[in-house]
Amino acid sequence: MRWFSFAEVVTDATSKFRKIKASDYQSEGQYKIIDQGKDAIAGYTNDKTLISSDLLPIIIFGDHTRVLKYEDTPIALGADGAKALKVDSRFANTLYVYYYLRTIKLKDAGYSRHFKFLKEIAIPIPLKDGVPNLDDQIRIAHLLGKVEGLIAQRKQHLQQLNDLLKSVFLEMFGDPVRHEMGWERPPLEKLGSLNRGVSKHRPRNAPELLGGKYPLIQTGEVSNAGTYITSFSHTYSDIGFAQSKLWPSGTLCITIAANIAQTAILTYEACFPDSVVGFTAFEKEAHPLYVHGLFLFFQKILEKNAPAAAQKNINLEILRGLEVPKPPIGLQQQFATIVEKVESIKSRYQYSITQLDALYGTLSQQAFKGELDLSRVPLKAAGTTEGMESAEEINHKIHEQHKPEQA
């Protein structure tokens, strides 16, 4: 492995493109437009003069956003901030360089230029007989791509399962906003008790309040949890707990500030601040999983109508008075049973994603240090995946090679 300067391996080819303004992006067209934004495709164009096919494959770098993209089909380059980087094929494989650049943690200079920092890095190039080993670079890129593809596949499966639950809810209960089933529509407070979390002390993040044994749930953790809250990043000390309140497992948490009407269910006892409302279902009136499903449909309405001061928020009385359909409790429980089964499947997919993320990090670190044995990784034929093994199979082989010998 030898380190080459960025300038030896990569050329700034941005000037070879005639950039297209955001106002000229189309919703469909023959050629995709790639810019520095997070979206994979920013728009489309039919203007062939904007395309530079001879530069493919190409790496796109967001000078402001630090976003990296790899493209091997004809593209147009988006407006200001997108850099087109051409890799010298004598030294390196473009996809290999792309994966390496993604491991670099560039300094965050805000909405400033970051290419100046990227140009300062060096790139590790595996050698064979003193010259760049392109075959091993292709193997590394393909191996990382395989794992990345599996991660994307698992995430797609998770989204499909979420869509399935929403579809099942509609089939069983109809659209609750349109009141399609004609059930009684009591206010939400008739289905369970609603009360705000407690955080009396100001400032809320005073050091003496934190660092104890009592889990503390914030609005962001509710928003990002999905159906169940299974982890936490902060805790209250005894002092923090004394000015708060402990909510039981099974409480439906509803955000009322910043993130509006996002919901998730506690799986352990926890505290939360007054920016979160706790809903405790009345046993014969509602199931928390049914109420969680209701908010999939009411969330956007509540968010849209939330008054904005420094940040959007809704008050407790709005939630208490929210009129919602009340189907038979038995039907709600049937839905809850389905949700629990789907959540079990989702947890397995999520565990797989966690494992694959760890695998990707390990393989990436070893590969770019020259510590990965690639002898059993087949060389990918250009444009094909025939004969390629899965990432799990390759990982198994790698770990078999590094097993300690039995005494």
Q: 300's torsion region: left (phi>0), alpha (psi -120 to 50) or beta?
A: alpha
The per-residue b/e assignment along 275-296, b for 16 or more CB within 10 angstroms, e otherwise, is bbbbbbbeeeebbbbbbbbbbe
pLDDT at 95 (0 to 100): 97
Write the class of the CATH domain 186-324: alpha beta
CA neighbours closer than 13 Å in the CB half-sphere of residue 347: 10
pLDDT averaged over 10-residue windows placed end to end, the chain, 407 residues: 96 94 92 94 94 93 95 92 95 96 92 92 95 95 95 95 96 94 96 95 91 95 94 95 96 92 96 96 96 95 74 82 96 98 95 96 95 82 39 43 41
Q: Measuring CA to CA, which residue among 239, 242, 266, 238 is closest to residue 252? A: 266
Beta strand pairing call for 259-266 and 228-229: parallel
Q: Do domains 2-132 and 186-324 have the same CATH topology?
A: yes
CA distances from 266 to 9, 228, 229, 250, 301 (A): 51, 6, 5, 5, 24
pLDDT at 379 (0 to 100): 77
User: Tokens 């998730």 appear where?
Assistant: 264
pLDDT at 380 (0 to 100): 58
pLDDT at 387 (0 to 100): 36
pLDDT at 378 (0 to 100): 79
CA 198/CA 209 separation, integer angstroms: 13
Handedness of CA 178, 182, 188, 192 (dihedral sign): negative
Q: What is the pTM of this model?
A: 0.80
What beta strand segments (E) does 139-251 contain?
192-196, 210-216, 228-229, 234-236
Please give the helix or strand (H or E) that residue 253 lies within, else none. Answer: strand 252-257
User: CATH assignment of 2-132, given 3.30.460.80, 3.20.20.70, 3.90.220.20, 2.40.50.100?
Assistant: 3.90.220.20
pLDDT at 294 (0 to 100): 97
The per-residue b/e assignment along 170-191, b for 16 or more CB within 10 angstroms, e otherwise, is eebbbebeeeeeebeeeebbeb
For the chain, the domains span: 2-132, 186-324
